[in-house]
Amino acid sequence: MRTKLLMDEHVQSAVTSGLRLLGFDVITAQEIGLTSQDDDIVLEYAAKHNRAVFTVNKRDFIVLHNEYILTGRTHGGILVMKSCDTRETIRRIRIFAAQHQFDDLSNQLCHL
């Protein structure tokens, strides 16, 4: 079973569209009304809905990941990478999915 992804608001919409065409279960922060919300609210929503967050906002989400671990909270996983063009971003997510089969990503911070 593939992990469901929640795309942070800074991710290009073309990435989301491309992943959907490939069969990924993806929603965006914008679609669920989380635009301009604090990152901890985005991560909390994802955790409650069994989704991993994909973001290019590495700095903030690494801090959040560490806070979750230190306080014993559980999140659904965080996939981070630096901002790249659409094709490269989709390629990296596909490779990650193929190699890891999106096993349970709970409390994992994965650098793509």
Over the stretch 71-94, which tens digit does the pLDDT of each residue have?
A: 999 999 999 999 889 999 999 999
Cβ(53)–Cβ(77) below 8 Å: yes
Question: Would you kindly state where each structural domain of the chain is located, as residue ranges?
Answer: 4-111
CATH 3.30.230 describes domain 4-111: no
Over the stretch 40-65, which tens digit does the pLDDT of each residue have?
A: 999 999 999 999 999 999 999 999 99
Encoded amino acid at 22, one letter? L
Helix (H) or strand (E) holding 93: helix 86-100
Encoded amino acid at 16, one letter? T
As a whole-number percent, the residues of the chain with pLDDT over 90 amount to 84
Cβ(47)–Cβ(71) below 8 Å: no
CA distance 40 to 67: 10
CA distance 77 to 55: 11
CA distance 4 to 54: 10
